[in-house]
Every structure is written in C-alpha cells, then in structure tokens.
A = this chain, B = another copy of it.
C-alpha cells in the first residue's frame, strides 16, 4: 500500500501549497482521493501514471477539494481515455461536472459513472474481489464523508515444507489449499488445511478523514486501520476557531488515532496561519506516538503484514 500526498493545505492554492488531493495504490488498485485545483499538474509533477485511475473519491463540495476535477476529466478526454471513470461524491457534483462538459461542448469518449452519496451512516460503496471501500460520515459545514479503504482477507500461504511430506498432493491441488480447503487422501484420510498452509497476509487498511470537527463516533469505523489521515487545520491555540469552522486540531486528530488504535497517523489540511508545521507534529505526539506530517510529494508505504507463523517458519 502506497499513499502519495499531492496537496495537503487548506483553502487557497499557493505556489508551494496545494489543496487536498491524495493518490492511493493498494492491492494494484489506483484511487484518487479529493481533487483540489491543480491536482492534474501535481500528478504529472510526481510522475504518477494517472490514466489508470479508475475511481475518484470526493469528500465534500468545498472548492479546495474538487475544483481540479473538471480539468482532470477534460485531460482524460484529450488523452483519449476509453475506460469508465467512477466518481463517488456528495449529490451536486454530477450536475456541476455535466454542466461544464455540456457548455464547453467537450464530451469525453469514456463513461463517467457518478455515485452520489447522501447517507449519514457508513456504507459500502465499492467492492471487488480484493478491496472494499466504506464511507466515514464526518461533520463539517457541508455534507462530508471520509473514506475507508480495506483489503479483503487474501489467500492462505502454502507451507511447502509440510506439503512435500505428502506425495499425493499435486500442483493442481494448490489453489484449493490456498482457498482454505482440507486435503483428502485416496484412502479417505483427511489432512487439515492448517497443517498445509499459513494464515494469509493481514489485510491493510487506510482511512481518510477530511474535513471534520472532532467526531469520536468515527473511531468504531476506523478501528485499528494501519494508516489514518486526519485533518488538523488548527493547533489547540485556535480550538474555538476549529469548533466554529468545524475543523479539528492536531491534538484532536491524535485523540482519534489513539482511541481507534491505528498504526500511524498522518496530519494535514494545515491552515495558512501557521508557518512552522512541526508544531502540528509536536502537539499530536503529546497524545499519540506514530505521527507523520503530510507533505507534498511525500509517499507513505506500508508493507503487507506477513503472518507471524510464516516469519517463524522462515527463521527455522
């Protein structure tokens, strides 16, 4: 799993401070999360092959989270994209995008499938054989969702040393073993799957939470994710402003991370009022240990977690 920060500042784009956008590669799926103005330029700058992005998730309809989408779609059109593009966003974005394509008389050759979100409860919005994506209902000045990206449990790992002891087991049986099935010998003797395989890799998960006031109710949804991005527009010196504008402080983001027992916390969506971003890290670290600052162009990689017994087997 690899997350690249394309922009992590709040509100107005500046030369070195782009609004929110993230590119997530997980299990060979490529997702774009939010798309502030200039996102297509950031994708080029960081040499991301963005033509393979199939699904775009927009948290809410404030400009710093979606003004770059129409430009990206137009560029897909100019690049002769053929594959479907799925867009998950609050109701309203579809009308905005279609009006602009109609007015500029530039319908692309590919289909755009809008998934308009309205629910205030967490729901499954994307699923294939390897991944699930859920909404994380947030609370901001307009209807807002975070997104939870979860790998499904993968195949069991073959224990080749154990398998070799049984000459009856052939290569054509391997997929059944990976699928968790026991092996039955010709004489009817059963060899349980646990004797022949290791547990699968632990599925990875990423939760994106922006923009939102401090909302501890989300911790049950994002419990134990490997990686959590949680907005921290302010430090606690501006707690009142955070509440009024429905944003979070670095301390509050860390409280969410701690309560949800996540692996790593990424902070971002910094207000332009702050020059020294290290203050965000320091404030969060008073509550939670593993804190990273989002920074344009930074890529955070999380390796698949190999099950403990496989590590032990390798060591022996």
Binding site for B on A (CB under 8 A): 11-15, 37-38, 40-41, 44-45, 61-64, 67-68, 70-71, 74-75, 78-79, 92-93, 95-96, 99-100, 103-106, 141-142
- For the complex formed, measure the closest distance between the CB of A298 and the CB atoms of chain B, giving whole angstroms: 18
Smallest CB-CB separation from A38: which chain B residue? B38
Q: When A41-B15, A45-B15 are in contact, do A92 and B96 touch as well, CB less than 8 Å?
A: no
Measured in the bound complex, the distance between the Cα atoms of B75 and A99 in whole Å is: 22
Measured in the bound complex, the distance between the Cα atoms of B106 and A11 in whole Å is: 12
Residues of B within 8 A of A104 (CB): 61-63, 142
Contact of B15 with A78 in the complex, beta carbons under 8 Å: no
Q: When A37-B68, A63-B100, A95-B99 are in contact, do A44 and B14 touch as well, CB less than 8 Å?
A: yes
Contact of B12 with A40 in the complex, beta carbons under 8 Å: yes
Contact of B13 with A41 in the complex, beta carbons under 8 Å: yes
Q: When A14-B44, A15-B44, A37-B38 are in contact, do A103 and B71 touch as well, CB less than 8 Å?
A: no
Measured in the bound complex, the distance between the Cα atoms of B100 and A68 in whole Å is: 13
Residues of B within 8 A of A44 (CB): 14-15
Smallest CB-CB separation from A12: which chain B residue? B75
Contact of A37 with B71 in the complex, beta carbons under 8 Å: yes
Measured in the bound complex, the distance between the Cα atoms of B104 and A51 in whole Å is: 28
Residues of B within 8 A of A38 (CB): 13, 37-38, 41
- For the complex formed, measure the closest distance between the CB of A77 and the CB atoms of chain B, giving whole angstroms: 9
